[in-house]
Copies of this chain bind each other. A is one copy, B any other.
Amino acid sequence: MNTYKICLLPGDGIGPEIIAEGVKVLNAVGAKYDTAFEYADALIGGAAIDATGEPLPAATLDAARASDAVLLAAVGGPKWDTTDPNAPRPEQGLLGIRKELGLYTNLRPVQIFNALADASTLRPEIVDGVDMMIVRELTGGLYFGRRERFYDEPAAGVDGAPGQRAYDTLEYSEYEIERIARQAFEIARKRRGKVTSVDKANVLETSRLWREIVHCVHDEAYADVQLEDLLVDNTAMQLINRPADFDVVVTENMFGDILSDEAAQITGSLGMLASASLGDGVALYEPSHGSAPDIAGRGIANPLAQILSVEMMLRYSFDMADAADDIRRAVTEVLDEGWRTGDIKGAETPADHVVGTERMGDLVVERL
């Protein structure tokens, strides 16, 4: 019997509620596939700030490093929102763990469950067949560049008076672009063989370097994959215009943040989308949605993205493709039978098919 150690990071808002359903599913899968999962809970985000003053305590990093995979729920909330550059912020926990574990590849699959095709605000014929993988660079760019705020700078205020000034730095090195490009091409080979590389090469120097390196990697080792360049502004349009045309989309950190959320919204059910953050060691899995503080603690949050992040964990970290397929099948069945949480219910959903977080987790487990 295999044993895997999983570090659990419930975080903030609905985090603790949904991660419990992820664990439930892991346990069910473990029983079925003769695998033991051992869990270690750790603090991150606002919860960690409240308990220790820091968004990413050293003990959390130790627990993550000692595990075979990390399951994260969500971080952040208005309680910790601040524009004070020196105050700790929940997001630093998330950014910190990505950087410390070297999780440079963020995979965000965008797919539509048939039962939820109506949830999209796009016309049905436009979203029909949407199936893309957004590959976002996760440890470089504006997120991790040097940044600073200056007070009382000469002429930075109104009418040439002293005022504030701030900067962030968008930086990329060849090796950072190289390795994420490789990931994208490898993934495309297992899919429909097409990569769209997104940049703003008509303005940014980092984008021109990005484009050059992506093409180098392509021409040297992946000439069998189809490669196209698309400017980020044009991509923001085309994602709405012809979403089904995209296969693999690879881009830098900030563009990836914006475009992956836009692409997620195309499905109309953000509560269904999971993501995997991979590096050269331990990987991290999380829902694509946030901590939804407005509905926290009420037992109504949708746990399916968290459960689907468990699916990705089985697939990418434990090589348990059958178990992963099993989870996807179970989720699909639950949806096909008409079960919905509040966020994905439609006008036609009967009241007795609208369920809470725990019940939704149970329904999936029953079908495993």
Contact = CB atoms under 8 A, between A and B. Distances in A.
Contacts of A202: 76, 81, 89, 91
B241 A264 contact: no
Contacts of A329: none
Given A95-B203, A202-B76, A121 B240 contact: yes
Nearest to A270: B237
Interface string A239-271: 111000000000000110111111011101010
Given A174-B157, A175-B156, A166 B206 contact: yes
A167 B91 contact: no
A59 interface: no
Count of identical protomers in the assembly:
2
Main SS class of interface, A = helix
A240 B258 CA distance: 13
B211 A83 contact: yes
Contacts of A257: 200, 232-233
A363 interface: no
Nearest to A254: B200
Given A91-B203, A143-B203, A171 B175 contact: no
A170 interface: yes
B236 A236 contact: yes
A163 B174 contact: yes
Interface of A: 76, 81, 83-85, 89, 91, 95, 121-123, 126, 142-143, 145, 147-149, 153, 155-160, 163-175, 178-179, 200-206, 208-209, 211-213, 232-234, 236-241, 254-255, 257-262, 264-266, 268, 270
